[in-house]
Amino acid sequence: MRLDGGGAMGEVSPMTAPTTNPMRHHLLALAFTLPALAHGQGAAIFKDADLALGEKLLAEHQCAQCHTRQVGGDGSAIYRPAGRINNAGLLRGMVENCSTRLNLQLFPEEVTAIAAVLNRDHYRFKP
């Protein structure tokens, strides 16, 4: 999709400027808002995650063992990228919930590390 369609026209003729300006403002607002949202919810929050730590914690807290009891197999079927969890922020939130519910007392960077591993192996949310 091209967003720059008639943009240059408004600048050439001062007469058309008042009608094109609101549109340009609208597009500018969008251009600044979308990356901001993506930053809050995208996989960018996993950029500095310690994946080795996440793998260790996943093994240590027996996440897969319990999930296997729920869904069988290796337990990974519990991770449903097409389900309710559809962005990186929600994924991290879910790990946080599980951690709180199970009273694991993880540090925030540990929660992020676990979520980052799940994202890499199962959810694959993009930045």
Residues engaged in binding ligand HEC (CB under 6 A): 61-63, 66-67, 70, 78-80, 83-85, 94-95, 98-99, 102, 104, 114, 118
Shortest distance, CB of residue 37 to ligand HEC, whole angstroms? 21
Shortest distance, CB of residue 86 to ligand HEC, whole angstroms? 9
Question: What DSSP assignment string belongs to the chain?
Answer: --S-TTHHHHHH-GGGHHHHHHHHHHHHHHHHHHHHHHHHHSGGGGTT--HHHHHHHHHHTTHHHHHHHHH-TTSGGG--TTSS--SHHHHHHHHHHHHHHTT----HHHHHHHHHHHIIIII----
The CA distance from 21 to 55, in Å, is: 52
Shortest distance, CB of residue 16 to ligand HEC, whole angstroms? 50
The CA distance from 49 to 6, in Å, is: 43
Q: Which is nearer to ligand HEC, 49 or 85 (CB)?
A: 85
Q: Which is nearer to ligand HEC, 6 or 81 (CB)?
A: 81
Q: Which is nearer to ligand HEC, 88 or 114 (CB)?
A: 114
Shortest distance, CB of residue 81 to ligand HEC, whole angstroms? 7
Q: Which is nearer to ligand HEC, 53 or 98 (CB)?
A: 98
